[in-house]
Amino acid sequence: MCLDKLSEKPILKKEHGYYIGWKVYKGYDDKRKKLIPEWQGKPQPIGTWMHEKRYRYDKSKTKERIMTIIGNKYYPRGFHIFLEPRLNTSIGKRGIIYSNRKVYFDDIVAYGMQGLWSVIVAKKMKILNQRNQSKKDGVKQNE
């Protein structure tokens, strides 16, 4: 996912002293016990702080900046995190189940828009355990 454009710093929510946001995932790797990101990136563990560089696809490991879709502005690589739940659990193309997961994040490097949604780009992120989320977050409860 790339930002459409950069923006000013939005109002950020905190919970237990951490910034909170949402990521969309398209599945769960039972073998490795990790969530599969909606877009690029390697499967990600639940309940562990991650640094984005470790979860990039191999082909993008050396690129430190990416470009916005509109305006050709560069910004640092990182986890792209929505500030509000983007969708309710839904079934997409080929029967893939997409779900929101609440995350904590830190080390913010950019703010922007992705379609109609405010997004932050952060270097560090932690996916919360299922029991830390509620049905209103749009999460499939039996994952």
- Identify the bridge partners of residue 119 per DSSP, sorted by sequence position: 82, 112
Domain, as residue range, for 20: 5-137
- The amino acid occupying position 137 is D
Q: What tokens does 108 get?
A: 């913010």
Predicted local confidence at residue 88, as pLDDT: 59
Predicted local confidence at residue 70, as pLDDT: 80
Predicted local confidence at residue 142, as pLDDT: 35
Q: Distance between CA 61 and CA 39 in Å, rounded? A: 16
Task: Tell me the three-class secondary structure of the chain, residue by residue.
Answer: CCCCEECCCCCCCEECCEEEEEEEEEEEECCCCEEEECCCCCCEEECCCEEHHHHCCHHHCCCCEEECCCCCCEEECCEEEECCCCCCCEECHHHCEEEEEEEEEEEEEEEEEECCEEEEEEEEEEECCHHHCCHHHCCCCCC
Residue 54 burial (CB count, 10 A): 9
Tens-digit pLDDT string for the chain (143 aa)? 688 999 999 999 999 999 999 998 888 878 878 888 887 778 889 999 999 988 876 655 667 887 888 888 889 989 999 999 876 555 555 556 677 899 999 999 999 998 888 999 999 999 998 654 544 444 333 33
Q: Distance between CA 37 and CA 24 in Å, rounded? A: 7
Residue 142 lies in a domain: no
Residue 98 lies in a domain: yes
Burial class (CB in 10 A: 0-12, 13-18, 19+), 115: exposed
Residue 143 lies in a domain: no
Q: How many domains in the chain?
A: 1
Predicted local confidence at residue 96, as pLDDT: 64
